[in-house]
Amino acid sequence: MARAATNRRMLVVTLLAWTIGIVIFFPILWTALTSFKTEAEAVATPPTFLAFDWTLENYTEVQQRSDYFLHFWNSVVISVGSTLLGLLVAVPAAWSMAFVPGKRTRDVLMWMLSTKMLPPVGVLIPIYLLFRDFGLLDSRIGLVIVLTLINLPIIVWMLFTYFREIPGEILEAARMDGAGLRDEILFVLLPMAVPGIASTLLLNIILAWNEAFWTLNLSASQSAPLTAFIASYSSPEGLFYAKLSAASTMAVAPILVLGWFSQKQLVRGLTFGAVK
């Protein structure tokens, strides 16, 4: 009796959860499906769901016509580059805050987070003008610099959260044995912090990959990452649903898979360990 009731309850919950899950996922599913249709089928009424002639021509055409790989590569360089650069600066900073905390450490951490509160639009014009004068507009280096700076507070906070869980005695012991600062960080701290650093790396690649305010405003044809490249499809002449879908699917798929793999770290990372 009770068993049957539990099963019925389970069935109801399963149906409800799957329905909601599919509704939420639907725009992504629909985009992926459309990317395999011909342009005519993509706008057919009534829309076809699965029974259409599957084709890969949109994918080949997006690549051939618009240099998709250049933009894909820009996205890779900008997101990976800014994350690595950020780690390089943030690891030593997080080391000092986690292991040699002073009276002002808490304030410094809060201040760093507060720079995220600075609305990008408040500093857009000077950055735009400085970039213009230094020839950094539409350059990958310029975007790497900006994305490093805007994600730096998050990187520092995340590393700090992870480092704090490592017992300081181990680092101290290494210091007693005569390890210098550089050795202490490189050979003692980093190997122990590999999981935390990997999570930080993944999360920041995701954040940088999807960042759209700066990439849209500071890039044109040469350095445009996928965020800006996809936006160019909003012009009327670029409006082909099947091709738009193919380009979108290619832009989203890698980061979606990466995100799915790192969902647990995502919670810890983005909430700085405040939610467990």
Near other proteins in 190-209, by CB under 8 A:
206, 209
Check residue 103 for interaction with other proteins (CB under 8 A): no
Residues 50-79 within binding reach of other proteins (CB under 8 A): none
CA 238, 242, 244, 245: dihedral to nearest 10 degrees?
A: 170
Using alpha carbons, select from 87, 75, 150, 94 the residue that is nearest to residue 118.
150
Place of tokens 């798929």: 253
**In the complex, minimum distance from the CB of residue 60 to other proteins, in angstroms, rounded to a whole number:** 20
As measured in angstroms, the least distance from the Cβ of 160 to other proteins is 8
Which of 56, 69, 110, 165 binds other proteins (CB under 8 A)? It is 110
Q: Which of 181, 194, 198, 220 binds other proteins (CB under 8 A)?
A: 181
Q: Specify the residue, 106 or 194, whose C-beta has the smaller distance to other proteins.
A: 106
- Using CB under 8 A, pick the residue from 8, 60, 69, 115 that binds other proteins: 115
Cis bond upstream, residue 46 (ω within 30): yes
The token pair at 110 is 């809060």
47 contacts other proteins (rule: CB under 8 A): yes
B/e letters for 16-38, b = 16+ CB within 10 Å, e = fewer, are eeeeeeeeeeeeeeebebbbbbe
> Is there binding between residue 217 and other proteins (CB under 8 A)?
yes
Report the site for other proteins in 136-165 (rule: CB under 8 A).
149-150, 152-153, 156
Give the CA distances from residue 70 to residues 18, 66, 195, 234, in Å, rounded to whole numbers and listed in that order. 38, 9, 31, 19
